[in-house]
Chain A
Amino acid sequence: MFSLNAEEQEKQTPQSTWRTFRRGLALSPELKVGLAGTLLLAIVSMVGRAIVPFAIQKGIDLGLVGKDTPDVQVVAIIVGVTLALLVVTTICGYLMIRRLYQVSETALANIRVRTFRHIHDLSMLHQQAERRGSLVSRVTSDVDTITHFIQWGGVILLISGGQLIVTTALMFAMSWQLTLVVLTAFLPAILMIKLFQKRLAAAYAETRRRIGHMLAAISESVVGAPIIRSYGTSARTAQKLDKSIGEFQAAQKRGLFMSVMSFSTGEIAAALALAAVVIAGASLGADGQLTLGQLTAFLFLVTLFIQPVQIATEVLNEAQNAIAGWRRVLDILDVQPDVADPAEQGVELPAGPLDLKFADVNFNYPGGPRVLNDIQLEIPAKTRVAVVGETGSGKTTFAKLLTRLMDPVDGQVLLSGTPLTTVKFSSLRSRVVLVPQDGFLFDATVAENVRFAKPGMTDAELDLAFTELGLGDWVQGLGHGYDTRVGERGEALSVGERQLVALVRAYVADPDLLVLDEATSAVDPATEVRLQRTLDAVTRGRTTVAIAHRLSTAQAADEVIVVDKGVIVQRGSHDKLVAQEGSIYAKLYASWLEQTR
């Protein structure tokens, strides 16, 4: 439905890879901070690898060959200078890695935070279109693959690339003929490696898909534990798990096989090159075009030449992962929040109680049928309204439009004459609060959960809020009162208790428009009735809209709005609507009575 799903977007072309890379860099300008210095350090530290064969060549040619007794002094000077250079390049290597970590970790911590914020800014619809786990991985493992690549792969790639250039240059300087021999030996290998690279990319994409499936299966087996237990479906679940684990393993193996194939090709090429260098070198030496030291150095250099090629193939695989991770991060940052905060350009809601108006509002979910049809509605300030209707009639959609969790497809929602789309979120969210049905709580104490809505609340204020809502006794009855930990998602409390805390949380936010979406559906009737009374008393002077299927709420409301198949079919006081014989509300009420009396 939305273009966030990474699974379908694994196709990577060199162009798109490059584009992702450039955009990624543009996103983190911090990565370029001191880049020149880091590159310089990298070059110097890389030279460290090439100077040793060079020193050996010089040592053999100047100190040994053609002399009756070796010239120890010359060799000692060469070795001494090279050792000193080695110390310098080692220090440069240290400084480079240090800088690289500093820069990349800083840049990517910022990306993490930005992405995190962006995900919260996305509309509810976008958030729900993604699996929770995959949203989390955007700010965790996806970013990790990028840093991992920059710190390991990036360094290696940089060094290897440099090493390749420097060794090639050195080889050319010593003997262009031998260099051509070496390059010719490597050419087929490099072409082969390119071929393997392609298959490898496909294998890795498959691995990523498989790991996604495996994680989903594991997650389901953990979250669905009570059902699996009580329905005795452990065997079936185990089967599913084993299958996904096995498939992931098979994909890993395929990827490894391809990678080894490509690595081995390089190794064969190295052997070929060594053999060719010996034959050609001997002939060149005989013609006086090559010194013995140079030939020896060449044998060393061939090793130094193939290493970076092999390592680069490994690193390029990792690069694929990093680019894929980077792309997933970019993809989510690319999704424009379709319910956007007008922020600076926005206006504040007028002070005082809010009235609300729906003008020609239509709504449907992307690609779905109409959910709300041409809604016209005005509700005066300070009214208590109940919205009732069957499941799927559009009640909840109504609440979401009212709180601007979604925007209408066409038409406008206005609060006190101000179109919602023009209202700053800071103003909107502090004045309009929705209490959703599942009283989601954070893994903290009762007090901390309530303070979420109003940080810095004193203990006395907290106590007052619970007392005002008649929940003082209930909270004292909990194991540790306000300090009772509610567990993950609040699961240490019963569903009804979670709703109570969520309600208090909304209450302390002190909104001018309170929207309750079946916020007390799991609370017992006595508590619900009591809560409603106290809530009525303390929220008098504000506007409340309650979505309810317990009609007790409707009875207590000033006005009832009946929604059926996306249209408002009835509105008026409870008494008036009940009196309309054969109406939807009358039927709903009759069945409610039948159930509660």
Chain B
Amino acid sequence: MANEGKPEITGRDVLARGARVMVRAIRDEPRIFAIAVLASCLFGALVVGQATVVGWIVGDVVAESFNEQRHVASGSLVLAAGVLLAMGVGRVIGIFGRRLGSGYMMFAQQARYRRRVTRRYLELPLSWHQQHATGTLLSNANADVESAWFPLAPLPFAVGTVFMLFGAVGTLFATDWALALVGLVIFPALFAVNVFFSRRMAPRVSLAQQKRAEVSAIAHESFDGALVVKTMGREEQETERFAQKASELRDALIRVGRLRGLFDPLVESLPFAGTLIALIVGVIRIKQGAIGLPELVSVTFLFTVLAFPVRAIGWVLGDLPRSVAGWERVEKVLSATGKMEYGEADVRGQDAATLRFANVNFSYEEEQPVLHDVTFTVPAGKTVALVGPTGSGKSTIAMLASRLVDPDQGMITLDGADLRTLTSASLSRNVALVPQIAFIFDDSVEENVSLNRPEADDRRIRNALSIAQADTFVMRLPEGVDTMLGERGTSLSGGQRQRLTLARALAGTPRLLILDDATSAVDPRIEARILASLRGSAEATSVLVVAYRRATIALADEVVYVEQGRVLAHGSHEELLSKVEGYRNLVTAYEKAEAEREREHVYDEDDLPEGALA
């Protein structure tokens, strides 16, 4: 699920694609990248320079003293030591610029794209959200962004190293052509090994990533459903399911490790081999009189100090496949086109709003229509009850009415204005939806109710809490309205959560209130009180309420009866009761059941043998 549609990362084009991702980062942060690369080049130049200096010191400054057992003039020694020290300081400056620069660049890119991705989440329509698993969206904003910019950390170092390699080859040529040839063999060989491995590595790493996502998805789902697992006693089977994926991940990682085991020692040994070959070649050249001892020492030193930086190239190349995979997932979010665009229009007014559904068709999946030709009106200031059996499309109508989704065909209007033409602000100011499952933010009671809306002032919050019958229990919370509710409000009962979300809707004084079976977890007596106070205060609000209970329906001026996504009838409760059989069955179900039970009861008692009742 998490990886569906993910383009497979093949070894062949991963370098080109990876390079494009890196170029994008450089365009985003050109200045800091330039600083990091310059610092890295400074470092590289000093490393190469140091090799020459060491050669000079060994060959020219101190060699005499060794040969002739005579103390060198302290002046040139101090100079040599001073140069080494100064070069050390220069290297530190280089390291500072390079590491801070590349780190800050990577962090800046991560933060930038985390912001962009989460911003996109807020912009994309709900229908898009419904098609993507929560876990996937989380990892897009976190792990994928992170891996996309991972190669940025060693990138300036690698660029500096390439510069350094050119410098080294230049130095080598300046020294001696034969030694330069050694460099020309070793350095390209190093590069080739790096490229070869990063290509071979790409599919393995991407497989491991995929397995990792699968392991995480299973854990997520299994812990989410922990209660079901527990009450059904399926821990063993769940563990097996998890163990299966965990072992696939293990195998994938071991495959990665085997390749790495081949790569790491090889890439480390090559410069050492270069040093040794340079030594023998150098000795031959000394014999031929082409070079002297200082040149030999600096060349061998050069190979030694290059061993480590050259690996930076390997790090960049090694991280590229992950980067490409991560970036492509991030890009999918950024380039996802949501059909939900808000308009420019606004509807205003102190009075209640009129909602109208005109010939609305809707489906979540193609060929699976959920609503057909739905037409009804919630007149201004009226309450309309939406009644229908389980799965008939009521919640979908509630979502359409609050424009969480758009109809495939037909139109939904508020005060005559198509919902699609309204601004987001206008929409949320006018319409409030209380969904069936209450969602509580990890924040205080007050923040949860006000959501920082300017219109939700203290007085309105208090008022809303009291209408929703939430004031009593909120007062009993340790810190009243300032109590922090924790993740998803798990410290509250289902009924309490529902009452808070109802208060949230009321605090904005909407002109249209949509209640989607929003009191299902509230006790009858409390619900009765909520309904009573709603009635007392709902003059300026039109209400569309999904309901089963008679009392709620009785509150409505009109009832719309839906079955299998069609409006079968609308009218007053009495009308529908007498005309529509499905409706009658639904709302009188309890009475009928009771009557039937009583009949059976009587029957049972009749059946009993004499004296049994005594």
Contacts and interface: CB of A to CB of B under 8 A. Distances in A.
A595 B279 contact: no
Nearest to B102: A256
Contacts of A461: none
A279 B77 contact: yes
Nearest to A552: B590
A95 B391 CA distance: 61
B471 to A, nearest CB: 15
Given A440-B227, A491-B130, A494-B390, A248 B239 contact: no
Interface stretch (B15-23, B62-70, B460-468): B62-70
Dominant secondary structure at the B interface: helix
Given A492-B364, A524-B389, A551 B524 contact: yes
Nearest to A435: B231
**B interface, size bucket:** 35 or more
A260 B121 contact: no
- Report whether over half of chain A's contact residues are helix, strand or loop; otherwise say mixed: helix
A117 B265 contact: no
Interface stretch (A167-175, A227-235, A315-323, A537-545): A227-235
Contacts of B225: 440-442, 489
Given A49-B272, A494-B391, A282 B235 contact: no
Contact of A86 (B82, B269, B504, B525): B269
Interface string B215-226: 110011111111
Nearest to A69: B287
Interface stretch (B245-253, B321-329, B377-385): B245-253
Contacts of A75: 279-280, 283
B108 interface: yes
A340 interface: no
B133 A443 contact: yes
Given A83-B276, A136-B223, A430-B233, A528 B589 contact: yes
A151 B257 contact: yes
A226 B523 contact: no
Nearest to A522: B520
Contacts of A228: 122
A227 B424 CA distance: 13
Contacts of B104: 253, 256
Given A230-B428, A390-B525, A300 B301 contact: yes
A230 B404 contact: yes
Interface in A206-256: 214-216, 218-234, 236-238, 241-242, 245-246, 248-249, 252-253, 256
23 contacts: A56-B300, A79-B277, A90-B269, A105-B257, A106-B254, A120-B230, A133-B138, A139-B219, A222-B137, A223-B488, A230-B433, A232-B427, A236-B452, A256-B107, A275-B88, A286-B65, A299-B58, A391-B521, A502-B228, A521-B520, A526-B589, A549-B522, A549-B524
Given A524-B389, A555-B594, A225 B121 contact: yes
A121 B235 contact: yes
Contacts of B115: 241-242, 245
B535 to A, nearest CB: 13
B166 interface: no
Interface in B528-558: 528, 548-552
Interface string B114-139: 11001101110010011001100110
A136 B134 contact: no
Pick the most buried of A268, A426, A496, A527: most chain B CB atoms within 10 A of its CB. A496
A86 B388 CA distance: 80
Given A86-B273, A225-B121, A436-B227, A268 B92 contact: yes
Nearest to A119: B223
Contacts of B277: 79
Given A75-B283, A488-B133, A233 B63 contact: no
A487 B132 CA distance: 10
Contact of A529 (B99, B243, B428, B590): B590
A229 B427 CA distance: 10
Interface stretch (A59-67, A195-203, A375-383): A59-67
Nearest to B388: A524
B87 interface: yes
B65 A282 contact: yes
Contacts of A60: 293, 296-297
A72 B451 contact: no
Interface in A269-315: 270-272, 274-276, 278-279, 281-283, 285-288, 290-292, 295-296, 299-300, 303, 307
A286 B70 contact: yes
B591 interface: yes
A196 to B, nearest CB: 14
Contacts of A438: 437
A82 interface: yes
A206 B290 CA distance: 59
Which of B269, B495, B564 has the most CB atoms of chain A within a 10 A radius of its CB?
Answer: B269
Q: Which of A69, A128, A225, A436 is most buried by chain B, counting CB atoms within 10 A of its CB? A: A225
B96 A489 contact: no
Interface in B191-228: 212, 215-216, 219-228
B410 to A, nearest CB: 20
B432 A230 contact: yes
A567 interface: no
A249 B436 contact: no
List the 9 closest A-B pairs by CB distance, nearest first: A271-B88, A429-B233, A101-B257, A232-B428, A93-B265, A97-B261, A595-B551, A496-B390, A275-B81
A227 B496 contact: no
B126 A524 contact: no
A124 interface: yes
Contacts of A291: 66
Contacts of A83: 273, 276
B587 interface: yes
B334 interface: no
A505 B233 CA distance: 13
B602 interface: no
B484 interface: no
A101 B91 CA distance: 35
Given A219-B138, A479-B365, A437 B391 contact: no
B247 A109 contact: yes
A232 B88 CA distance: 57
B235 A596 contact: no
A45 B265 contact: yes
B432 A101 contact: no
A282 B589 contact: no
A493 B119 contact: no
Nearest to A433: B231
B141 A437 contact: no
A522 B527 contact: no
Contacts of B57: 278
A564 B424 CA distance: 45
Interface string A454-484: 0100000000000000000010011100000
Contacts of A434: 231
B265 A90 contact: yes
Contact of A222 (B121, B242, B305): B121
Contacts of B137: 222
Contacts of B52: none
A221 B134 CA distance: 10
A133 B143 CA distance: 14
A70 interface: yes
B232 interface: yes
A252 B109 CA distance: 12
A529 B389 CA distance: 12
